[in-house]
Chain A
Amino acid sequence: MEEQEYILLKGNEAIAHAAIRCGCDGFFGYPITPQSEIIETLALEKPWETTGMVVLQAESELASINMVYGGGATGKRVMTSSSSPGVALMQEGITYMAGAEIPGLIVNVQRGGPGLGTIQPSQSDYIQATRGGGNGDYNTIVLAPATVQEMADFVDLSFELAFKYRTPVMMLSDGVIGQMMEKVKLPPFKARLTRDEIEEKYPWAATGKRKPGQSPRIFTSLDLDPQVMEDHNKDLQQKYSTIKENEVRYEQKYCDDADYVVVAFGSAARISTKAIETLREEGLKVGLFRPITLWPFPEKELLELSQHVKGFICIEINAGQMVDDIRLAIKCSKPVVQYGRMGGMVPTPEEIAEVIKQNAR
């Protein structure tokens, strides 16, 4: 296997390079700050000349997500990316994908809201991402990268999960991780699947003319018979239970002897870590718990941790969204305080250290 060397990339650029390298068949997107470098990098790299990957600037976010719906239905690894207001526009397509059990990757490099909001970083789409966002009873798997390396690594992981469970997967990042440069080792090249390979691996995929005796491939989220629809919903819920059982991911730092634990994801976890390092030097026993999958949420792990600590401090760049999940996970057995900034303002390490100090006494 070729050994990759470290290079310096923006988080957004890392996503584009990782997509080309993981056998992605198509990217459909519409530019929006702070994630436009994804489609810009793809346009510069011209993967259609090398791997055959399609890169298309669609006419809108609605068009993009429905192209992902179509591509996913044919068993292709396809993706889109946008930022908060654009992802809001895509919700109809995402719930249709969940209903029709179509795999695909949606990247959200979040910016402040509500509405058009601002172009500066935010984490205020947590609830939208983890609750499905569109109509109906569904969840998407949500991965929250905290480094440029994870921006690269989670692209292939997202596709693997999307196809394993036939469900849309979201990477929930933000303007900090998207815009920052950091060293990264890109994954080795993986070939795109051939049509034969797709037919063999994904017998559900619409790959062309029906073979004799084969049933038609129908992708729909609509059924007018409520009994059929309820049975379909039960199947979906069964699938979500399996995902909850198998796909929880998280990271712990300095938790072994911690009296108080900061729970934070993505860029907020990075900034909180600096605050924790400073406070540790002052002798304060504070740890970090970083959910990597926001859905499924690491409930059991937090409940277990709650038995050994005095309380939790939830740091997120929003008005307080993940804090509800923490309280539910630990069954409100310990105090949980929340701190965040809004509208594109990003907390500093000093600011977070002060919040921790006030509450960890």
Chain B
Amino acid sequence: MKHEIIIAGYGGQGVLSMGKMLAYAALVEGKEVTWMPAYGPEQRGGTANVTVIVSDEYISSPILNTFDIAVVLNQASLWRFQKLVKPGGVIIYDPNAIMEPPTRTDVSIYSIAATEAAIEMHNSKAYNMLVLGGLIQAVPMVKVDNVLKGLRKTLPERHHHLIPMNEEALRKGMQILEKK
């Protein structure tokens, strides 16, 4: 099984870190994984995107132009990446500040109100974990436990007190995902 994923949004939304959390979880599961950021002079408010490939087999190209899954977290990313999802693929978007929702009819579309949920949690830092929860609920490519295992392995000890908050966000994200 191979999942070719683009995660895109504003700089500051935690797009790259979300990709990393997914990649670490895949590593815990013994899968092959690549994580390729669009690097550049990006900063808070600019655009950010990362291509993550999770596979049972050797991954040749870390660079892709079509995707199985697009996680799009702002309007610009939705416009840009909607057309690059393969037929039968998946689009997950955050409806916050989206004026033109996805229009594709040959893919599965999910919305996740993660901006709203993060505000309810009084924690903007939970945002990307909410979205990640939605992603692995829509396409169960890694187990929740392994996301947490990945976190424990990669977070420095001094940040381990944040793991319960991350777990809460992850599980909440799984619940609030809505199929369109």
Contact = CB atoms under 8 A, between A and B. Distances in A.
A119 B36 contact: no
A182 B64 contact: no
B103 interface: no
B40 A120 contact: yes
A179 B33 CA distance: 14
B74 to A, nearest CB: 22
A351 interface: yes
B65 to A, nearest CB: 4
Interface residues of A, number: 26
Given A119-B40, A182-B34, A183-B32, A6 B61 contact: no
A267 B62 CA distance: 9
Given A6-B27, A8-B27, A179 B39 contact: yes
B1 to A, nearest CB: 16
Contact size class for B?
A: 20 to 34
Given A8-B23, A8-B27, A181-B23, A349 B63 contact: yes
B36 A270 contact: no
A351 B61 CA distance: 13
Contacts of B39: 33-34, 119-120, 175, 179
A350 interface: yes
Given A6-B27, A182-B35, A277 B60 contact: yes
A281 to B, nearest CB: 13
Nearest to A34: B39
Contacts, number: 69
Interface string B27-51: 1000011111101110000000000
Contacts of A274: 60-61
B36 A179 contact: yes
Nearest to B150: A8
Contacts of A267: 62-63
Interface string B137-159: 00000000000000000100000
A348 B64 contact: yes
A183 B20 CA distance: 12
Contacts of B124: none
B108 interface: no
A176 B36 contact: yes
Contacts of A349: 60-61, 63-65
Contacts of A34: 39
Contacts of A120: 39-40
A346 interface: yes
Contacts of A271: 60-61, 63
Given A182-B35, A183-B32, A8 B63 contact: no
B65 A350 contact: yes
A180 interface: yes
Contact of A8 (B24, B60, B61, B65): B24
Contact of A351 (B59, B62, B65): B65
A306 interface: no
Nearest to A175: B39
Contacts of B40: 119-120
B57 to A, nearest CB: 10
Contact of B66 (A181, A346, A350): A350
A350 B67 CA distance: 12
Contacts of B27: 6-8, 183
A262 B14 CA distance: 38
A346 B60 CA distance: 15
A348 B23 contact: no
Contacts of B36: 176, 179-181
A284 B79 CA distance: 34
Interface in A1-51: 6-8, 33-34
A354 B157 CA distance: 49
A175 B62 CA distance: 12
A40 B131 CA distance: 30
Nearest to A269: B60
Contacts of A270: 60-63
Given A176-B36, A182-B34, A349-B61, 15 more contacts: A6-B27, A7-B27, A8-B24, A33-B39, A119-B39, A180-B36, A181-B35, A182-B62, A183-B32, A183-B33, A270-B60, A271-B61, A274-B60, A348-B63, A349-B65
19 contacts: A7-B27, A8-B24, A8-B33, A8-B35, A34-B39, A176-B36, A176-B63, A179-B39, A180-B35, A180-B37, A182-B62, A183-B33, A267-B63, A270-B61, A270-B63, A271-B60, A275-B61, A348-B64, A349-B60
